[in-house]
Amino acid sequence: MVQESVNEEIKWLEEQLEAKKKELAIGGVEKPEKEMVREVIKDVAAKKPQLLPTQSVLSDDAAKKAAYNLKEKEHQQIIEGLISLAFAQGLAIAVKAVNHLKNPHLLDEFHDALADKYYEKLLAARKLKI
């Protein structure tokens, strides 16, 4: 079930990436795919998490609890914990949790690290060309 959720999010991300490519092509802008994946992740996490294909059934309280469990850890452990949470329970709950940490630096680093992981998944699924 978890893998299905991740696969759904990857498929959705691929669709968003294609839309981003078309948008940039219209404007005559060209960017590396990895950078576009980062932008899509940041856009969704910052503005539109409700658009994600898989919404976690976990409540806001559960996101607060996840954030609380992470906040006393080392910086890198927090990032790794958030990424694990995203792949285990969905991007939406991980975004909620990182927002509860109220740390812009962590939020930005989480977006970048998560985009890298999703990009790797996209490449592994042979959805993108290197």
What is the per-residue pLDDT across 89-117, written as a single tens digit (0 to 9) for each? 888 788 889 989 999 999 899 989 988 98
Distance (Å, rounded) from C-alpha 122 to C-alpha 62? 29
Can you read off the two tokens belonging to residue 50? 């409700």
Q: In the chain, what's the furthest Cα-to-Cα distance?
A: 46
2-56 pLDDT per residue, tens? 567 677 877 888 888 888 888 888 888 888 888 888 888 887 776 655 556 555 4
> What pLDDT score does 109 carry?
93
Strands (E), 27-127: none
Angle between the 91-101 and 33-47 helix axes, to the nearest 10 degrees?
70
Over range 122-126, report the average pLDDT.
74
pLDDT band at 78 (very low <50, low <70, confident <90, very high): very high
> What pLDDT score does 2 carry?
57
**Residue holding tokens 């609890």?**
65
Q: How many C-beta atoms lie closer than 10 Å to residue 23's C-beta?
A: 11
For residue 67, pLDDT over 70 is answered with yes
**Residue holding tokens 């919404």?**
55
